[in-house]
Amino acid sequence: MKIFLVSDIFGRTPALETICNKLSTSSPDIQIIDPYNGFNHKFESQTHAYEYFMDNVGLKKYQHILKNRLTKYDANIVLIGFSVGASAIWGISHQPSLKHVQKAFCFYGSQIRQNINIHPLFDIELIFPKQEPHFNVDELINLLHKKALVTCIKTNGRHGFMNKLSTHFNPDFYKDFIQHLRTYLAS
């Protein structure tokens, strides 16, 4: 089984590599997919990272990067995405060429709300924060949880609770979800 961490707008960072290392005890074959081809931009702020991502990549291109990377493999794949990475996973989850994806865990993919008509072809666990500034989390969960293969979890965390670079990082939720992922990967 191959496991891919699909990064947020910050791309490949030491914080994401730490998650990779924590999960590698359960499964040693983990790689990172990011929108910048592995280059760490060391963004000064979330605003700077967002502007750079929007000006140079965007969600559609990130989906294309992700799909191209995944179609190179025929083994079972597990995806773990964060923020725009989660939204990119959702955006391609209905494509038959990704039939070898076994499961995806998508943390606070706020752009999922722009594509609610997608029907994933693999199991997908959507982990939402307690609130988002641009939409009602409960309403989105109500729409999505009725879909086949979709599980929705609402946490008390805020957007970014898994990212040590985020002002909303929550060490307790981080620890709990690392354990949740480890348990799944070890099964």
Report the CATH number that the domain containing residue 182 is assigned in CATH: 3.40.50.1820
Which alpha helices (DSSP H) does the chain contain, by range? 14-23, 46-56, 59-70, 84-92, 137-144, 171-186
Q: What pLDDT, on a 0 to 100 scale, did the predictor assign at position 27?
A: 66
pLDDT digit string (tens) for the chain, length 187 residues: 899 999 999 999 999 999 999 998 766 679 999 999 999 899 988 899 999 999 999 999 999 999 999 999 888 999 999 999 999 999 999 999 998 999 999 999 999 999 999 999 999 999 999 999 999 999 999 999 999 999 999 999 999 999 988 889 999 999 999 999 999 998 8
Q: What pLDDT, on a 0 to 100 scale, did the predictor assign at position 26?
A: 64
Please tell me the total count of domains within the chain. 1
Task: Return the residue matching tokens 């799944």.
Answer: 184
Helix, coil or strand: residue 65: helix
Between CA 171 and CA 15 the distance in angstroms is 13
pTM, rounded to two decimals? 0.96
Q: What pLDDT, on a 0 to 100 scale, did the predictor assign at position 119?
A: 97
Bridge partners of residue 104, in order along the sequence? 79, 124
Number of residues that this document lists for the chain? 187
Neighbours of 178 (CB within 10 A): 16
User: The domain containing residue 60 runs over which residues?
Assistant: 2-186
